[in-house]
Chain A
Amino acid sequence: MTARYGLAQVARMEWIKLRSLRSTWWTLILTAAGTVGIGVAVGLNTPNSGGDITNNALAGVVPGLLLTGVLGVLTMTGEYSSGTIRATLATAPRRPLVLVAKAAVFGAVTLVVGEAAAFIAFFAVGATLRAGVTAPTLGQPGVLRAVAVTGAGFCLIGLLGLGLGAIVRHSAAAVGVLVAGVYVAAQFIGIMAHGVASYMPILIVANSLSTTMPVTCGTDAASCPDFLSAWAGLGVLSLYAVIALTLGGWLLARRDT
């Protein structure tokens, strides 16, 4: 018996809370199913072996990420809407510790589910390609990296959602901020300002994480955003999650509940 409650106890509490909601499991199953299903559909519509088939196989990740991000938001805002936050903070009054434990548990779960979804999608697409289209293998350059870092993208967008939930506290508003920030703004800025586009979360996932080769724009190089490398993209997404969680933790420690 340790002298005081700590990360181990609070993480166990958060794990029980996360797994005891049916919505957690439905959302994760839908995330994985959507990722695999859309990947297979895009794979079936790939006419030849010319393009980045790994990227096509991972096309379902972007919609799947939305669900993970929303689940991250609700994992935090659900505490406020239900009043559970008071029971949580009465159990563990060191508030930053609560957010650290939540992030550790939620991050681990979404990492496992994200990796599973990415790898299942990759192999499912490989098995269902049209005759004559060659399936990529994990041994080819950049393929294993693309699948693995894409799986990690679920976890990072999920943690970004969790941080936004801690900052905004209201479910609808926080989901709005997530969708507006991650999806709508990305599309808009992608069109308006190419220089910034490469830093938009969704474009990082689509163009940096899930590709085996740098995105090229052919002859139209002038309007071509300079996309980040897979590792730089992973770093930028991590930075977003860390910023949201740090700000969320700082606010959680200062506000009344």
Chain B
Amino acid sequence: MIDVRNLTRRYGPTVAVDALSFDVRPGVVTGFLGPNGSGKSTTMRLILGLDRPDAGQARIGGRRYRDLAWPLREVGALLEAKAFHPGRSARAHLAALAAGNAIPRARVDEVLDMVGLTGAAGRRAGKFSLGMGQRLGMAAALLGDPAVLMFDEPVNGLDPEGVRWIRNLLKSLAAQGRTVFVSSHLISEMALTAERLVVIGRGRLLADTTVAELSAGAESLEDAFFRLTSDEIEYRGAPS
């Protein structure tokens, strides 16, 4: 369970996240939708304590991220495709993270196997394709077998097979009772993957609903999304 309360973050004069409040529940995939630059990535970084909020707070199971006892065992996150050193092997990258939270070494090989990287685990990760990088990020998120998972644009740059793999993985993680929060700007993908939706525009909450509710009365989820965000699409210089 993730709860976000009145979360606010400014970058100079730009308000990237504006008094945002919502809950993400366990057991279902919750999609996080919004136009580019609407503050999705910033919100996720604020939840993980990578950026500091100007006001409000985000809590996971009632605690702030930085107060978690064993962060990777409680929350797994994939924030960007290549968050690993190009000179380090996938196995060493995961082994380091595992050691940091006293996760048994055997779990590294388990998650490598889960994401299909066992054969490439000893190679320098700098040589990985975008899809392999996403798989390594996914392995890192799953490493601590956490009850809460967050993914920022996980299907970006993946081939159709990879997209389907991620979709099924997210659904099965939610079916196991985990909290799964996944951002995307691909509405059709969210229509296939998510059950609940949090929609934001210009850092503000536009809807906290289900896919079924939002699509009701519209031709498609996409039409409903555009109706909802029509006033909010504006290209700004805000960090995404």
Contact = CB atoms under 8 A, between A and B. Distances in A.
Interface of A: 1-5, 9-10, 12-17, 20-23, 78-79, 82-84, 86-94, 254, 256-257
B66 A93 contact: yes
A76 to B, nearest CB: 12
A12 B45 contact: no
Nearest to B143: A91
For the residues of A in contact with B, the DSSP-based class is: helix
B71 A93 contact: yes
Interface string B130-156: 000000000010000000000000000
B50 interface: yes
A74 to B, nearest CB: 10
Given A4-B70, A17-B88, 12 more contacts: A16-B99, A20-B93, A20-B96, A86-B48, A87-B83, A89-B50, A90-B48, A90-B50, A91-B72, A91-B97, A93-B49, A93-B68
B109 interface: no
B92 A16 contact: yes
B71 to A, nearest CB: 6
A8 to B, nearest CB: 9
A94 B100 CA distance: 12
Contacts of B75: 90
Given A12-B99, A93-B66, A21 B82 contact: no
B184 interface: no
A21 B66 contact: no
A93 B46 CA distance: 12
Nearest to A20: B92
For the residues of B in contact with A, the DSSP-based class is: loop
A247 B193 CA distance: 45
A138 to B, nearest CB: 39
Contacts of B85: 17, 21, 78-79, 82, 84
B177 interface: no
Interface string B179-216: 00000000000000000000000000000000000000
A86 B83 contact: yes
A9 B70 CA distance: 10
Max count, chain B CB within 10 A of own CB: residue among A4, A86, A89, A90: A90
B84 interface: yes
A3 B68 CA distance: 10
A1 B72 CA distance: 15
Given A3-B69, A86-B80, A256-B51, A20 B100 contact: no
Max count, chain A CB within 10 A of own CB: residue among B52, B79, B102: B102
Contact of B71 (A14, A83, A90): A90
Contacts of A2: 102
B71 A82 contact: no
Would you list the 10 A-B pairs with minimal beta carbon distance, nearest first?
Answer: A20-B92, A13-B100, A83-B83, A91-B100, A16-B96, A93-B66, A12-B99, A256-B51, A4-B69, A82-B85
Contact of A86 (B68, B79, B86): B79
A3 B100 CA distance: 14
Contacts of B66: 93-94
Given A9-B99, A87-B97, A94-B66, A256 B82 contact: no
Contacts of B102: 1-2, 5, 9
Nearest to B79: A86
Nearest to A256: B51
B117 to A, nearest CB: 16
Given A4-B70, A93-B66, A256 B50 contact: yes
A256 B97 contact: no
Contacts of B99: 9, 12-13, 15-16
A92 B82 contact: no
A211 B124 CA distance: 44
A12 B99 CA distance: 6
12 contacts: A5-B69, A17-B96, A20-B92, A20-B95, A21-B88, A82-B84, A83-B83, A84-B83, A84-B85, A89-B49, A93-B49, A256-B51
B32 interface: no
Nearest to A87: B83
A256 B45 contact: yes
Max count, chain A CB within 10 A of own CB: residue among B68, B92, B96, B100: B100
A21 B45 contact: no
B87 interface: yes
A92 B52 contact: no
